[in-house]
Amino acid sequence: MSVANLRPNMDHWQERVDLAAAFRWTARLNMHEAVANHFSLAVDEAGTRFLMNPNQVHFSRIKASDLLELNTDDPAALDGPDAPDPTAWGLHGGVHRHCPHARCVMHVHSIFATVLASLADSTLPPIDQNCATFFNRYVIDEGYGGLAFEDEGARCAGLMSDPKKKVLIMGNHGVLVIGDTVAETFNRLYYFERAAETYIRALQTGQPLRVLPDEIAEKTARELESYPEQDTRHLVELKAILDAEGSDHAS
Summary count for the chain: helices (H), strands (E): 8, 7
Task: Identify the pLDDT of residue 157.
Answer: 95
Considering only CA atoms, which of 16, 14, 9, 21 is closest in space to residue 245? 21
Considering only CA atoms, which of 153, 142, 131, 149 is closest in space to residue 210? 131
Residue pair 92/51 in contact by the 8 Å Cβ criterion: no
Where the chain has pLDDT below 50, the residues are: 1-5
> 219 in helix, strand or coil?
helix
> 184 in helix, strand or coil?
helix
Structure confidence by residue, pLDDT tens digits, 98-146: 999 999 999 999 999 999 999 999 999 999 999 999 999 999 999 998 9
Task: Identify the pLDDT of residue 149.
Answer: 87
Can you say whether the dihedral through the CA atoms of 114, 161, 151, 72 is positive or negative? Answer: negative
Structural domains of the chain in order of their starting residue, each with its CATH number = 3-244 (3.40.225.10)
Global pTM?
0.95
Going along the chain, which residue ranges are E strands? 38-42, 49-52, 68-71, 104-108, 138-141, 167-170, 174-179
